[in-house]
Amino acid sequence: MARLFGTDGVRGLANADLSPELALSLAVAAAHTLADLADPDRTQPPLVVVGRDPRASGEMLEAAVVAGLASAGANVVRVGVLPTPGVAFLTAEVRADFGVMISASHNPMPDNGIKFFAAGGHKLTDEQEDAIEAALGAPWTRPTGAAVGRVHDLLDGADHYTSHLVDATEHSLSGLKVVVDCAQGAASDVAPEAFRQAGADVVAINAEPDGLNINEECGATHLASLQAAVVEHGADLGIAVDGDADRCLAVDANGSEVDGDEIMAILALAMRDAGTLVDDTLVATVMSNLGLRIAMREAGITLVEAKVGDRYVLEELRSGGFNLGGEQSGHVVFTDHATTGDGVLTGLRLMARMAQSGTSLAGLAAVVTKLPQVLINVRVADKAVAKAPEILAAVAAAEAQLAGAGRVLLRPSGTEPLVRVMVEAATEEAAQKIAEGIAADVRAASPLAG
């Protein structure tokens, strides 16, 4: 049987792959496993924080999750519509045994997902997820009477989270004008308010969620409307989050995109200059552009590589004791202030660096000279072909050809029968040619039937 948990919780088409019955069962299984991990000798009922993004199916799935938790004897604190990092923050803030976020992040509206946070607001390990899966459908004794869990609403949860974001912004944003694209998602109220409280002049767009329009041609996955709005309003920059606001991309005053690699470089230099970057080290993934690696090397900052996925960045951060890491896609983690990627916090700290330095976003981002990057997804019969001797030889030959002025990365997909071929080179033409050559070798070594 395929593993139920993916790279970021359980996700699928709401009311089909992800049904209320499955949501209820997951909640019961989590109550029986995560509560015991948080406190094996407990004498009080478990406490669980539950939040969601504004997509319509979240109402249905929230009801199922809350019912499952209460039926297992857990007390539930509902925080309503709130960004994923806000739910993680409140899980730690109220000292809950674990938290539940109902969201499919940047996915289209028909999808939804369920992700769990362990005590302290930390993402689950593979072992914790496996324990939940193993407990699905296992026999259990239902509590009755006073032992049934109770459900309460935390009405000021968003205010607590917003205050936390502003407190973590180390310089007033006064004098800066920003367009904030809320992706019709979970940050539609919190993000504009946080930027205003931090001192910025704010123009909010795509901040009227109706349950059906989340991520619809907006947010971090569709920057065109933000780019146009920044130019139209004469703003200093634009900030785009995704549906659950755990990541952030930016747009400079000219409407040009500033991606996660450039954002990480800007923030790493800011923290190094302030003396707060632990061991002068940044954690990024293997997909980050070679330009980031070069910029960090020239700045005397060590770059530690993690596997793709913010959970693996978090593992490297925690194991090494580092305090800044992220992904090219805009997941950025500040472990001094958050336990997971936080798009609003990232935007606030990016603007704080602009205000503190008196430098435009384009000027700050210029520290990274990105190499052209080509990615080709090759559908294969067997993903193990990425380790085949003839493919490894082809990669070695390509790297010799690049002579240190580029790189080749082959990565089997974690969820699909694909091998991803990524090449960086001095020119787009060279990267495309090398990538297509290796992709052809991969297809030939593992052809699809028919």
The one-digit pLDDT tens for each residue of the chain (450 residues) are 578 998 789 999 999 999 999 999 999 999 999 987 777 777 899 999 999 999 999 999 999 999 999 999 999 999 999 999 999 999 999 999 999 999 999 999 999 999 999 999 999 988 999 999 999 989 999 999 999 999 999 999 999 999 999 999 989 999 999 999 999 999 999 999 999 999 999 999 999 999 999 999 999 999 999 999 999 999 999 999 999 999 999 999 999 999 999 999 999 999 999 999 999 999 999 889 999 999 999 999 999 999 888 888 999 999 999 999 999 999 999 999 999 999 999 999 999 999 999 999 999 999 999 999 999 999 999 989 999 999 999 999 999 999 888 999 998 886 678 999 999 998 999 999 999 999 999 999 988 855
Could you count the other beta carbons within 10 Å of the beta carbon of residue 224? 11
Q: From edge to edge, which strands make up the β-sheet containing 281-285?
A: 302-306, 281-285, 324-326, 332-334
Q: Rounded to two decimals, what is the model's pTM? A: 0.91
The residue type at 173: L
First to last CA, the chain: 26
288 included as an active-site residue: no
Distances from the Cα of 406 to the Cαs of 133, 264, 392, 399, 428, in angstroms?
42, 20, 17, 7, 11
Residue 449's SS3 state is coil
Distance CA 165, CA 88 (A): 13
Q: b/e per residue, 13-47, with b = 16+ CB within 10 A?
A: ebeeebbbebbbbbbbbbbbbbbebbeeeeeebbb
Q: Considering the candidates 25, 105, 288, 446, report the single residue annotated as catalytic.
A: 105
Give the residue among 219, 228, 9 at the shortest CA–CA distance from 109: 219
- DSSP code per residue over 386-443: GG-HHHHHHHHHHHHHHTTS-EEEEEE-SSSSEEEEEEE-SSHHHHHHHHHHHHHHHH
- Beta carbons of 436 and 428 less than 8 angstroms apart: no
Residue 97's SS3 state is coil
